[in-house]
Each structure stands twice: as structure tokens, then as C-alpha cells.
Amino acid sequence: MGIRTGAQYIEALKSRNPEVWLSGKKVKNIFEEPVFYQPILQIAKLYDMQHDSKYQEDITHICEETGERISNAFLVPKSYQDLQARRRTFEEFAKATFGLMGRTPDFLNVVVTSMASNSEFLDKYNPEWGKNIRSYYKHIRDNDLFLTHAIINPQNDRSKSSHEQQDMFTHLGAVKETPDGLIVRGAKMLATLAPITDEVIVYSFPGFKPGDERYALAFALPLDTPGLRVICREAMQDGQRSVYDHPLASRFEEMDAVLVFNDVLVPWDRVFLYNNVEAANLLYPKTGIAQQPAHQSGVRGLIKLQFATEVACKIADSIGVDAYLNVQNDLGELVQSVESIRALLRISEYEHEVTATGEAMPAYAPLETIRGLLPKMYPRAIEVMQIIGAGGLLMSPTDADFENPELREDLEKYYLGREGVSAEERVHLFKLAWDLCGEAFGQRVLQYERYYTGDPIRKRAIFYNNHKKQNSFELADEAMKIFNRKNEVTSL
Ligand SMILES: Cc1cc2nc3c(=O)[nH]c(=O)nc-3n(C[C@H](O)[C@H](O)[C@H](O)COP(=O)(O)OP(=O)(O)OC[C@H]3O[C@@H](n4cnc5c(N)ncnc54)[C@H](O)[C@@H]3O)c2cc1C
């Protein structure tokens, strides 16, 4: 089939009935549930972009194997040009959603592409696993599917490993093998956008210990698989709030969910890894599923930071406070943050490495540096927005106020900004800012930036340890050699 349209994506959603729970109720119709409606439209818009002549050449290509047009997210990059092609898809999808939707379809499509293109690693443990991930890649590529993923165990007792938890199946694990497949039981989190996706892929971060064999798993399933239960967090908006009053929160809420597997059958051809602690611990480093998706996340993070920076700059300008040195200093800092991330992304592409199988991997160090910096830079951008907007963030009237002719004169007079900025423009701008820096929606997208790909503290520690292993401290060593106590003191 190749690239889907938005209508085809929605049609597929309507044809399924996954077990989704929201605020104590089983959702009857995903498409008609207000909290999912706008995000579904946003995702459909991305699918439609693939058919739009304005974007098509930039974000899709013809698949060598099938002759069908497919997303660049499914391209196995072999060169700098291929990395650029992938970046264009990431960038256009991120721009269309202002970087606020982290798990657009390109993200997991890149994960599966990378797992499949490096599946020789799995072949060594079990040739069936490698074969399965390669055919799964073709399945999602040729049907242009949208995936969620659940890679974290529920947050119960983090001081204990999976097999040491109070119940053997609190964390998702294999119960038994059957002729048809594996029976799995337990929970995984945090499946962002799960209710509106086609399928879920389950795998894990490294960290398995001996005894954790049954939890060392990787597989994929359609979301409406019997026994798979999706428990959503509380919705942040009910679909009743005005899209004018909450321009971002009303459109871009990505629902997060815990997935509970109640003795779910995973057919053997959907099992990519099982009962092998060593393979599970090596899955990330050996299949490039940290680096390739980090390219997508870096591009998306850049767009989100740029958007927050621009909103902060515009609110400062709209009320004339960017005339002050302190405000210029704060905004200059944000612009420099954006430029730093932009530069790091470019370096990761220029300095890509080519693996033994010929795959172009964006460079590790700059991508990990982005991963370390964004959890600080994005919250800082939000803090600057709060400081600059100050009380003005809390004075915005509503859409309904603007609609009432009795209030109109007061609104136009008392809510206007500096000369040339109308009340409506100023209020509109502050509403964008409030969604980002005040609403629960804004807090969630901030929390996302901290944690979406693991704990930034442990990730930075891993980065340092890798750096220590792979690099000598040659300048420091050289200085110690030259400035030795025993060396002669030279004078000019
Ligand atoms: C908005 C959002 C969306 C997400 N979307 C997804 C998704 O789509 N799919 C998915 O699979 N996951 C998703 N995640 C989950 C994300 O991967 C995790 O939040 C992240 O890996 C951190 O794990 P945790 O939340 O369990 O925190 P924990 O690991 O429980 O950490 C809690 C705190 O304890 C500290 N800590 C815990 N263990 C240790 C340790 N061993 N050593 C040192 N310090 C420790 C941490 O530093 C942290 O401060 C999402 C998270 C968020 C916030």
C-alpha cells in the first residue's frame, strides 16, 4: 500500500475496538472521545502531508524493494544525504505540531527500521527473532502504521529488580510458552498516544539482572489484542474548552497510558527477543535504537525549543519589556540555546559514522549532548516565559468575553499591548504562552522533555563513563608532563 492518507488512518482507528479505560469508564468509540478527537486530527494531518505536493518529495521516497512510496522514516540511511532526507521528515512533522507531539508516527517507525536493519545481532541469539523483526518492519512500512511503545516497568519499587518485586507479574513477564506463542502477564508504561495508535511495540532499557529472564522480552501486537488493557491518565482537557482559549492544549494533548497484559498471547512471529538477559541488555547498543531515534527527538526538540523561545520573545515585544537589559539577557540566552541545539544536530549529521553493514549513524556524542541539555534548556525557556509574562499571563479574558458586545470596548482599551499591538493580538499571544507555561498541558510537555527517553541523570552518567572509556585526557596528561616539578623552569 505505501503511504496512508489521514482518512485511511482514521478509518483503521474506527475499525478497531481496543480496551481503553479513561476516568473509570471503558471508551466505546475512540474517535468520538473528546480528548482524543483533536490529536487524531493532528496525526491525520501528518499522514495527509505525505500526499501533499508541497511536502511529498521532501518527506517520502520510492521504496527500492516494493516500488511503493514510503515515508523517509523507513529509509535505512546509507549516507549524509539519506540522513538529510530523514531530517526533513522529522522537521516537517515537528513543525506541523510545533514540536509538542513527541510520539508522532516517524519516531517509532525509525526505532523499528533501526532494529530491523541491525537484526543480525538478534540472528546470533535466535534466527527466528531476526526474521520476525525484519518482517515486522515490512509490515509497518508497507501499511504505514502508527506505533506506541512501552519500555518502562511500572514505578513500584525501583530499588529491586523485576524478579524481586512483591508479585512475580507486576512487571511484564512471560508466563508460559504455547504452540501458538508466548503468554505474557503484567504491566508496562508509559505508552504515549496508545489509544490512537495501531500497534504497540514492547522492549526495555538495559539493566536486567540474572533472575530477570522472564522479563527480558521484545514483541509487538495490535492494540486491540484480546487481554491488552490501556489505562489512561486523567485527561487534561475534556474537548469542551474553546480552541481559541487553549490553542495548544486543546489540539496537542498526547494521552499517556499504562498497558496491562492479562495473559495475552504473543504469536511466535511477533516475538523479537525472549528469555535472554544478555540479548536484552545489548538490544540498545547493538541495534542503534538509541542513536537513530535520538536524531528524530533532537530535531523535534529543537523545533519545540525554538517555538517556546519565539513565544517568549513575542510576549516581551508585545508589552514593550524587551527594551530592558535583563529581559534582553534572558531572551538572548534562549536564542543561544536554540542555536546550540541546531549546531549539535548539524554536527551529529556531518560526523555520522558508517557501520559495518553500511548504515549511516548520526554521531553519538552530539546527540547525547542534546539529550543532556534539553531537559535544562526547555524548562529554562518556560521559566523565562513565566518571568516575562508575569501577571499578564493571568489577565487574559476568554473567547466568550470577546464575543460579548457589552465588554468589547473595555477589552479593546485595557487589554491592548504596546503601540501597534491590538488587544486581540496580545491576548491571543498570551494564551499561547499560558498553554505552554501555566496549563497542566504545559507541565506535561515539560515533564516529557525531561524524561521521554529515560532519566537524564543516569543517561549523563552513562555518557561520562563511555567518554572515559573511549577517550584519553590527553591535554591534561600533556600539561602534567610539561609542568612537572622535576622539569627545568624556563625563563624568557
Ligand atoms: C510525558 C512522558 C511521556 C513518556 N512517554 C513514554 C512512551 O511513550 N513510552 C515509554 O516506554 N516511556 C515513556 N515515558 C517514560 C520514560 O521513559 C520514563 O519516565 C523514564 O525512563 C524515567 O523512568 P521513570 O519515570 O520510571 O523514573 P524512575 O526511573 O522511577 O526515576 C525516578 C527518580 O529516581 C531516580 N532513580 C531511579 N532509579 C535510579 C537508579 N537506579 N539510579 C539512580 N537514580 C535513580 C531518578 O533519577 C529519578 O529522579 C514517558 C515519560 C513521560 C514523563
> In Å, how far are 164, 182, 259 from 263, measured between CA atoms?
20, 9, 12
Give the Å distance between the CA of 155 and the centre of ligand 1: 8
Q: How far apart are CA 465 and CA 459, in angstroms?
A: 10
Nearest CA to 78 out of 440, 451, 361, 338 is that of 361
Beta strands in 41-114 (DSSP E): 60-62, 69-71
Please report the atom of ligand 1 found closest to the CA of residue 150: 11
Q: Whose CA is nearest to atom 12 of ligand 1?
A: 190
Q: How far apart are CA 34 and CA 30, in angstroms?
A: 9
Give the list of residues 6+ apart from residue 126 with CB closer than 8 angstroms, or none.
276
Q: Whose CA is nearest to atom 21 of ligand 1?
A: 454
Please report the atom of ligand 1 found closest to the CA of residue 205: 21
pLDDT in tens, 74-128: 999 999 999 999 999 999 999 999 999 999 999 999 999 999 999 999 999 999 9
Give the Å distance between the CA of 481 and the centre of ligand 1: 43
Asked if 200 and 264 count as a contact pair (C-beta separation under 8 A), the reply is no
Please report the atom of ligand 1 found closest to the CA of residue 453: 17
Q: Whose CA is nearest to atom 46 of ligand 1?
A: 455
Give the Å distance between the CA of 455 and the centre of ligand 1: 5
Residue carrying C-alpha cell 549513524: 361
Q: Whose CA is nearest to atom 33 of ligand 1?
A: 455
* Mutational pocket test of ligand 1: of 106, 109, 190, 197, the residue with most ligand atoms within 8 Å of the beta carbon: 190
Classify residue 358 by burial, with Cβ atoms within 10 Å: 0-12, 13-18, 19+: exposed
Give the Å distance between the CA of 454 and the centre of ligand 1: 5
Asked if 117 and 354 count as a contact pair (C-beta separation under 8 A), the reply is no
Q: Whose CA is nearest to atom 13 of ligand 1?
A: 190
Mapping DSSP to helix (H, G, I), strand (E, B) and coil, where does residue 342 land? Answer: helix
Mapping DSSP to helix (H, G, I), strand (E, B) and coil, where does residue 74 land? Answer: helix
pLDDT for res 153: 96
* Mutational pocket test of ligand 1: of 452, 464, 465, the residue with most ligand atoms within 8 Å of the beta carbon: 452
Q: Whose CA is nearest to atom 27 of ligand 1?
A: 455
Please report the atom of ligand 1 found closest to the CA of residue 448: 1
Give the Å distance between the CA of 448 and the centre of ligand 1: 10
Give the list of residues 6+ apart from residue 435 with CB closer than 8 angstroms, or none.
246, 247, 248, 249, 441, 442
| φ, ψ of residue 199 in degrees (nearest 5) | -145, 165
Q: H or E element: which one contains 431?
A: helix 423-437
* Mutational pocket test of ligand 1: of 103, 109, 158, the residue with most ligand atoms within 8 Å of the beta carbon: 158
Residue carrying C-alpha cell 540511511: 77
Q: Whose CA is nearest to atom 17 of ligand 1?
A: 454
Give the Å distance between the CA of 107 and the centre of ligand 1: 18
pLDDT for res 13: 96
Segments in the chain below pLDDT 70: 487-492
pLDDT for res 485: 72
Could you tell me the three cell numbers for 291?
A: 542513536
* Torsion, CA 130, CA 133, CA 135, CA 139, rounded to 10: 180
Q: How far apart are CA 364 and CA 367, in angstroms?
A: 5
Please report the atom of ligand 1 found closest to the CA of residue 458: 43
Query: What does R_g of the chain's alpha carbons equal in angstroms?
Result: 25
Q: Whose CA is nearest to atom 29 of ligand 1?
A: 455
Nearest CA to 372 out of 472, 461, 268, 243 is that of 461
> Ligand 1: which residues within 6 Å by Cβ?
103, 149-152, 155, 158, 190-192, 256, 444, 447-448, 451-452, 454-455, 457-458
Q: Whose CA is nearest to atom 30 of ligand 1?
A: 155
